[in-house]
Structure 1
Amino acid sequence: MSRIIVFGGHGRVALLLAPLLAARGDEVTSVIRNPQHIADVEAAGAHPVVADIETMGAAQIADLVRGHDAIVWSAGAGGGSAERTYAVDRDAAIRSMDAAKSAGVDRYVMVSWLGSTADHGVPADDSFFAYADAKWAADEHLRGTALDGTIVAPGTLTLDEPTGRIEIDPDGHGSVSRADVAAVIAASLVEPCTLGRTVRFGNGDPQSAVPIAEALSC
């Protein structure tokens, strides 16, 4: 059994992830901002903790994550103002990585997006720019730490049924079901071959997609 703490615990992917982890015997802590979401998190098999990561310092986050075996960062501002996007998707994420190291939690999985590269190509005047810029900064910070990090970078998220199969480095938008993203995160937590790796993926063409376990193996 592992103790996993998930930031952004009421997100659609996180609510699909928690049951997968709980089913294999992991103990899941889901960090949420809104106390009205407690029942949803409990129904997913996780223990809810109400905390505002946007305002918490690294020392407070360290207290929150201490004693866990792994961190999954699936939190985000969800659009809106660029200021809040940077505050959550970049700054809070970076504080959580610094906190992880000080708390002795070395395993860290960052949920990013397929296009998170230095040359992501999003124009500065595009409303999506803040997200692209913030996620890239957070991803790069993780790569520069001594944490056992994995960056899970799916393409466009859908509500389709899971296939259990993905294509690595897909062309185009790399559409993928949220349920398959959750399965990739769960598998990444126990697959040593994902350490230090950025996994860019989509569901892909049925002809080229492979089972998730195979896609993540060495």
Structure 2
Amino acid sequence: MARILIIGGHGRVAQLLEPLLTGGGDTVTAVIRNADHEADVAATGAQPVVADVEALDVDQLTNLIAGNDAVVWSAGAGGGDPARTWAVDRDAAVRSMDAAAAAGVRRYVMVSYFGASRDHGVPADDSFFAYAEAKAAADEHLRGSALDWTIVAPSGLTLQAPTGRIDTRAEASGSVPRADVAAVIAAVLTDETTVGRAIRFNTGDVPIAAAIAG
């Protein structure tokens, strides 16, 4: 069983992921910014740790990450403030990658989104632009690192019931339940064939384990 650190542990996907991991015997530490959310996280079986990753430098993040077997980045600024989007979705994410490397924690899973790339096509005057740019930069840094990385890139997120089935072949973004995204993250953590791959997916008809297998 693994020790897994989830950064952004109070997010909707993270709170669905945590019981999947703890239920399977993993030890999960969930990093959250707001102490008011500790009880929510503890109820999933994860151990909450209050820390503002936006404010932590690489050395502090290294200390936070050390001793784990894997890092899952599921944090985000939530949009609305471009400066904070850059600070969290790009800068803090990049520092966490450098910290994972410094801590000797090679396995790193990034939660991104289906259209993330330098050619995202979002106009500069669009409110989504800062997020698109930040995620593209973070993903690019991760690809260039020496970590054993996987980028999980779901399409539009819904609150529908999970199906346990996805489509990794579609060229256009559709939608997928958050619970299935959580299941994909849990699956890639135990599937070494996903290392070095970006997995884009919608809801589909292929069981998750088969769909992500390399």
Could you tell me the TM-score, scaled by structure 2's length? 0.99
The equivalent residue for 2:115 is 115
The equivalent residue for 1:2 is 2
1:120-150 C-alpha deviation (Å, 9 max, x unpaired): 1100000000000000000000000000000
Aligned-partner residue type, residue 185 of structure 2: I
Pairwise CA distance, 1:174: 2.1
1:78-127 C-alpha deviation (Å, 9 max, x unpaired): 01210000000000000000000000000000000000012111000000
CA RMSD of aligned residues (A): 0.7
The equivalent residue for 2:20 is 20
1:159-182 C-alpha deviation (Å, 9 max, x unpaired): 000000000042433200000000
1:80 and 1:55 map into 2 onto residues whose CA distance is 19
1:171 and 1:147 map into 2 onto residues whose CA distance is 27
Aligned-partner residue type, residue 63 of structure 1: N
1:155 and 1:169 map into 2 onto residues whose CA distance is 12
SS in 1 for 2:30: strand
The equivalent residue for 2:179 is 179
**Consecutive aligned runs of 4 or more in structure 1 exceeding 4 Å deviation:** none
Aligned-partner residue type, residue 43 of structure 1: A
Correspondences of 1:1-218 after superposition (within 5 Å): 1-204=1-204, 209-218=205-214
2:184 and 2:173 map into 1 onto residues whose CA distance is 18
Q: Which is worse superposed, 163-172 or 51-60?
A: 163-172
1:4-32 C-alpha deviation (Å, 9 max, x unpaired): 00000000000000000001100000000
1:172-206 C-alpha deviation (Å, 9 max, x unpaired): 332000000000000000001100000000103xx
1:26 and 1:169 map into 2 onto residues whose CA distance is 30
2:157 and 2:170 map into 1 onto residues whose CA distance is 14
Would you say how many aligned residue pairs link Structure 1 and Structure 2? 214
Structure 2 portions without partners, runs of 5+:
none
Structure 1 portions without partners, runs of 5+:
none
Could you tell me the TM-score, scaled by structure 1's length? 0.97
Pairwise CA distance, 1:216: 1.0
SS in 2 for 1:6: strand
1:174 and 1:168 map into 2 onto residues whose CA distance is 11
2:175 and 2:181 map into 1 onto residues whose CA distance is 10
2:167 and 2:143 map into 1 onto residues whose CA distance is 23
Identical aligned pairs, as a percentage? 65
SS in 1 for 2:48: strand
SS in 2 for 1:31: strand
